[in-house]
Amino acid sequence: MAGLSRRSLLRYGLAGTGGLAAASLLGTGSAMAAPGLVRGGRPRLTHGVQLGDPRRDGAVVWTRADVPSRMWVDVASNPEFRGARRVRGPLLTPDTDGTGRMRLRGLPPGRTVHVRVTAEDVEGQATSEALTGVFRTPGRGNVRFLWSGDVNGQGFGINPDLGGMRVFSAMAAREPDFFVHSGDAIYADNPLTETVTLPDGRVWRNVVTPAKAKVAETLPEFRGNFAYNLLDDNLRAFAARVPQIAQWDDHEVLNNWYPGEIITDERYTERRVDVLAARAFQAFHEWMPILPKDAVDGRVYRKVSLGPYVDVFVLDMRTYRDPNSPGTAPFERILGEAQARWLVDAMAGSRATWKVVASDMPLGLVVTDSGAIEGVANRQPGEPLAREAEIAWVLSELNRREVDDVVWITTDVHYTAAHHYAPERAAFRDFRPFWEFVSGPLNAGAFGPAALDSTFGPELRFHRVPSRAGASPLEGFQHFGEVNIDAETRELRVDLRDSAGASLWSITLSPQGR
């Protein structure tokens, strides 16, 4: 590591990552000793604990310290941490902005797991105060999860007058097993001001930090955008109790970006999107509870298996897309060949009842970028062209391989909606019917509705949209979605909820396949 040389680590007795095997971490064992005597500078965990990417035998645990230190995690089946086992985590150094994460493995399925996180200074003389988290490993019982996205966009940040981002407390009250964060976890291209005067004369007030006062270009500025979100008490409490499956979209870098783009926005001194994306990518993996080695490509897209009833297939519609275009070419990429083939193979090989595709963007809604096509749908109501053609190949292959019980979830468009896709209504008919559910934003401007493209035969069953574009969170159009799977019937119920948690619309689906 560049921040601490190997000679320095050897001097402190900390060379190598080591680590205790995590098998049977919730078994019997002696209670952990109390932290040692604090001497000198004591580490401080600055941004809480985050949980991520749950598996049947564990989850990722994340934290951040303010000085170089070693992360430690105590794991127990009870909140008193009786019989806890200790697992050594990574070094927290300036190389990763003081952040670190590790995967707990070997835990029993269907069990409540308590974690207690500390940081020990590199001399082994001082230990931070402990922070705790709790989650449940997936088992064979009922499943509940949430999804949404779009946090702190369009000039709306953490408002202290409202008690911060209370939607995260409403989501926590639903007691989900996990949360799919569908992207736009930050708005790197949306600086904040201390106040925003709304059309009706009300004033929205923001907490503002230096990193949020301008567009993010440098690595510290991207890091600062993620750090800003975790200033919110509601989000920190939610992140320590609900493992999230993190995805990224455009605003982690720049609105509507694509690889190779050269931007003309005068706010930027760095105009190469690829340079900005590399910095954003590093900050994303430092500050979100995700391990690159869990992704197929070492980046974002991956399968998260959550027991016999659901597998989640997380997409990356940014990294491998072709440039935004008029959408009239015979074929263009939004997934890229490797990811598209992986998606089909992984879904065809899934033994779970429900195959949930966590998509960056909706399939049938027309999303534009200064006249070009930003999303999949090309607003041409005929045979699939451009990016539609790649999605058509995916849908056709899933049909050929008899993959049933597929549900797509997404965010992106800043309103909530339910769409049913069916070949009898479509220009392209080689696919099996499926549902797509849209829900968001969490704390951002609200928009909608977007037009539906008929290529894949979508039918609008529900939507809730504001009367004006860019409506503030004070106007109430903030949303999250909830999925419940009944372990006995294996039925899947979807509720589209408002920011207080009230159900606006729901449907129950019965499994059709194996």
Average of pLDDT values for 420-424?
A: 98
Residue 99 pLDDT class (50, 70, 90 cuts)? very high
Average of pLDDT values for 468-492?
A: 97
Residue 113 shares a structural domain with residue 236: no
Range of the domain at 358: 143-509
Domain membership flag for residue 425: yes
Q: What is the structure's pLDDT at 514?
A: 54
Residue with tokens 């539906």: 452
**Up-side HSE of residue 385: CA atoms within 13 Å toward CB?**
15
SS3 434: strand
Domain membership flag for residue 71: yes
pLDDT of residue 29 exceeding 60, the answer is: no
Residue 89 shares a structural domain with residue 172: no
Name the β-bridge partners of 63.
100
Residue 380 shares a structural domain with residue 300: yes
Q: Which two tokens stand for residue 244?
A: 């999230």
Concatenate the DSSP letters of all residues of 31-73 into one string.
Answer: PPPPPPPP-SSPP-B-S--EEEEEETTEEEEEEEBSSSEEEEE
Q: How many domains does the chain have?
A: 2
Residue 162 phi/psi, 5° resolution?
A: -100, 0
Concatenate the DSSP letters of all residues of 335-401 into one string.
Answer: S-HHHHHHHHHHHHT--SSEEEEE-SS-SSB--EETTEE-SS--S--SS--THHHHHHHHHHHHHHT
Q: What is the structure's pLDDT at 504?
A: 98
Residue 119 shares a structural domain with residue 204: no
Q: What is the structure's pLDDT at 41?
A: 76
pLDDT of residue 33 exceeding 70, the answer is: no
**Angle at CA of residue 456, ends 452 and 459, nearest 5°:** 50
Residue 284 phi/psi, 5° resolution?
A: -55, -45
Residue 123 pLDDT class (50, 70, 90 cuts)? confident
Q: Which amino acid is at 386?
A: A
**Angle at CA of residue 74, ends 309 and 286, nearest 5°:** 70
Query: How far is the C-alpha of 53 from the C-alpha of 164, rounded, in Å?
Result: 26
Query: How far is the C-alpha of 200 from the C-alpha of 222, rounded, in Å?
Result: 33
Query: How far is the C-alpha of 234 from the C-alpha of 164, rounded, in Å?
Result: 7
CB proximity list for 278: less than 8 A, separation 6 or greater: none
Domain boundary (136, 168, 189) is at 136
Q: Around Cβ 17, how many Cβ atoms within 10 Å?
A: 11
pLDDT digit string (tens) for 505-514?
A: 999 999 997 5
Residue 178 shares a structural domain with residue 292: yes
Q: Left (φ > 0), alpha (ψ -120 to 50) or beta: where does 18 sit?
A: left
Residue 318 shares a structural domain with residue 460: yes
Closest among 277, 262, 350, 355 to 316, alpha carbons compared = 277
Average of pLDDT values for 155-179?
A: 98
pLDDT of residue 241 exceeding 80, the answer is: yes
pLDDT of residue 25 exceeding 50, the answer is: no
Q: What is the structure's pLDDT at 17?
A: 30
Residue 380 shares a structural domain with residue 342: yes
Q: Around Cβ 75, how many Cβ atoms within 10 Å?
A: 24
Query: How far is the C-alpha of 295 from the C-alpha of 151, rounded, in Å?
Result: 23
Sheet of 503-509: strand order equals: 99-103, 58-64, 50-55, 244-246, 178-181, 143-148, 479-485, 492-498, 503-509
Using DSSP bridges, classify how beta strands 203-205 and 195-197 pair: parallel, antiparallel or unpaired. Answer: antiparallel
Q: What is the structure's pLDDT at 474?
A: 97
Q: Measure CA 38 to chain center.
A: 37
Domain boundary (136, 153, 177) is at 136
pLDDT digit string (tens) for 35-91?
A: 232 334 799 999 999 999 999 999 999 999 999 999 999 999 999 999 999 999 999
Residue 111 shares a structural domain with residue 220: no
Residue 427 shares a structural domain with residue 356: yes
Domain membership flag for residue 514: no
Q: What is the mean pLDDT of the chain?
A: 92
Domain membership flag for residue 204: yes
Give the relative orientation of helices 273-287 and 219-229 as an angle to the nearest 10 degrees: 40
Residue 12 maps to which CATH number?
2.60.40.380
Domain membership flag for residue 500: yes
Residue 189 shares a structural domain with residue 130: no
Domain boundary (136, 161, 182) is at 136
The answer, yes or no, to whether the previous bond of 362 is cis (omega within 30 of 0) is: no
Residue 387 maps to which CATH number?
3.60.21.70
Residue 124 pLDDT class (50, 70, 90 cuts)? confident
Lowest-pLDDT range of 19-23, 152-156, 225-229, 408-412: 19-23
Domain membership flag for residue 470: yes
Domain membership flag for residue 1: no
Residue 24 pLDDT class (50, 70, 90 cuts)? very low
pLDDT of residue 252 exceeding 80, the answer is: yes
Q: What percent of the chain clears pLDDT 70, i.e. is strictly above it?
A: 92
Domain membership flag for residue 175: yes
Residue 112 shares a structural domain with residue 55: yes
Residue 48 shares a structural domain with residue 85: yes
Residue 18 pLDDT class (50, 70, 90 cuts)? very low
